[in-house]
Structure 1
């Protein structure tokens, strides 16, 4: 489980573009945002990643690095990127159930043949450049994801007011 103001777990995953992504090698001006999504089978994830793709330049203007990741296989992650029109947002795949649990994500078992046997439920983590957790939003279901405009507004407020991380007790 991740707690605000503490260092987040290490994480390294392959990307659909053939490269590898490593959290600890990320350099950013303000924040790194990890978006854990359920996978190809999830229409709510499609909507969320498309929204992020559209807002990506606004995040980049604020010095924010974003990445989306799931427990999906390479094939399923690449199909998500292609079918959903995601070309700028990095998409990582191969998140293990153990890694998902290290981040405090909830795990579900398949209820249809469109779903993998096991996968993580969604989560969003906002991480400072020193790799300490600033904020997180974790769901047990596919619903109630934070709108990206809310996240952008929060980043503006936090940056302008030097607002500290909360919930670290």
Structure 2
């Protein structure tokens, strides 16, 4: 697990639009928000990513760069992008399970129609220097932070110059 104020591992991930996203190349005004999601098999993820699509401009207004990623294959991620209403969400795929573990994400073995192994949800808000400011990691698909709450938290952080917490 990466504690707040600690530097994260670099991420280099393919996006469904054919480009590559590198954490080390991000230069947000305030934060980078990485949303790790379980994959196309997850209806809760579909709802969450569609809510992210609806909130995307609010994150942009606050100087927050956003990306969502999973360990899905390129083919599955392309289907996700086409079938879900997430046309403006940068969507990454192929996150190696070993990389997900470095971030402290939980890994599940698939049941029924799920992939053999996949990541459980996580939300990370990083400083422009790629240190953890805020993280929320789930071991289940349920109980994820609501984007309105995340946006409210970011508003408070920016207004009050509130420091990252949980590092001790």
| Counterpart in the other structure of 1:81 | 81
| CA distance, structure 1, for counterparts of residue 94 and residue 161 of structure 2 | 35
> How far off its partner does 1:86 sit?
1.2
Whether 1:66 and 2:66 are equivalent positions in the alignment is yes
Q: Secondary structure at the match of 2:49?
A: helix
Q: Deviation per CA, 1:36-82, whole angstroms, max 9, x where unpaired? A: 00000000000000000010001000000000000000011111111
| Counterpart in the other structure of 1:165 | 164
> How far off its partner does 1:160 sit?
0.2
| Counterpart in the other structure of 1:45 | 45
| CA distance, structure 2, for counterparts of residue 111 and residue 70 of structure 1 | 17
| CA distance, structure 2, for counterparts of residue 135 and residue 108 of structure 1 | 23
Q: CA RMSD in A?
A: 0.5
> How far off its partner does 1:85 sit?
1.7
> Which consecutive unaligned segments of at least 5 residues does structure 2 have?
none
> Which consecutive unaligned segments of at least 5 residues does structure 1 have?
none
| CA distance, structure 2, for counterparts of residue 144 and residue 78 of structure 1 | 26
- 1:98-117 → structure 2 map (5 Å cutoff): 98-112=98-112, 114-117=113-116
- What's the TM-score once normalised by structure 2's chain length? 0.99
- 1:14-53 → structure 2 map (5 Å cutoff): 14-53=14-53
Q: Secondary structure at the match of 1:71?
A: coil
| CA distance, structure 2, for counterparts of residue 48 and residue 85 of structure 1 | 11
Dislocated runs of 4+, deviation >6 Å: none
- What's the TM-score once normalised by structure 1's chain length? 0.98
